[in-house]
Amino acid sequence: MLITAENSVVGIEYEVKEAGSDEIVDSNKGSGQPLEFITGKQHIIPGLENALVGMKKDESGDILVKAEDAYGEIHEEAIETLPKEQFEGVELKEGLVLYGQGPDGQQVQVIVKSFTDTDVTIDYNHPLAGKDLMFSVTVLSCREATEDEATSGQIGGGCNDDSCGCGH
């Protein structure tokens, strides 16, 4: 079965590097834990999902995903300077990843870009924003989503009782 743009349940093994670099940014190779997702549900970055369409089980490939189709471009408005006292008790260093709560209660990740005796500059952009990425991918599994999976967007269905064994 070929991966389609909508409602294919796909499992992949992958390794990703910044384009032009040998440094691995993320990988699940050899973990025995494929990245599983349903196409068309925005579970993974669009550039990777679009490139997988038309591939089949056991097929491998190298996929270049441009920044705008990965984690987007860097947005300068997502960089903010705050008073250092807001970071009391935190051992600051450049590149430090901190987690906080956004205005809507969602978890947000920020990176400490720089700091002085009085201020801390933080960046809300994704760490891979503005970067082209090179994925080495192998399709480990591919099947059509069940009706429940297609509706819920969750692999295994999204049932609401204990009879189906999905842990709800």
For domain 8-71+129-157, give the CATH number.
Answer: 3.10.50.40
Burial class of residue 135 (count of CB atoms within 10 Å of its CB; 0-12, 13-18, 19+): buried
For domain 76-123, give the CATH number.
Answer: 2.40.10.330
Q: How far is CA 66 from the centre of its chain?
A: 14
Residue pair 48/61 in contact (Cβ under 8 Å)? The answer is no
Whole-number Å distance between alpha carbons of 107 and 154: 21
Q: What is the pLDDT of residue 157?
A: 55
Q: How many CA atoms lie within 13 A of 2 on its CB side?
A: 7
Residue pair 111/127 in contact (Cβ under 8 Å)? The answer is yes
Whole-number Å distance between alpha carbons of 73 and 116: 27
Average pLDDT for the chain: 91
Q: List every span in the chain annotated with CATH 3.10.50.40.
A: 8-71+129-157
Which residues, including other chains, have CB under 8 Å from residue 24's CB and lie 6 or more apart? Answer: 15, 16, 17
Which residues, including other chains, have CB under 8 Å from residue 20's CB and lie 6 or more apart? Answer: 132, 134
Whole-number Å distance between alpha carbons of 167 and 95: 38
Q: List every span in the chain annotated with CATH 2.40.10.330.
A: 76-123
Residue position matching structure tokens 């679009």: 50
The alpha-helical segments, DSSP class H, found in 20-161 are 46-52, 147-152
List the pLDDT tens digit at each of the 168 positions of the chain: 999 999 999 999 999 999 999 999 999 999 999 999 999 999 999 999 999 999 999 999 999 999 999 999 999 999 999 999 999 999 999 999 999 887 788 888 999 999 999 999 999 999 999 999 999 999 999 999 999 999 999 998 554 444 444 333
Instruction: Classify 35 as helix, strand or coil.
Output: strand
40-66 confidence digits (pLDDT tens): 999 999 999 999 999 999 999 999 999
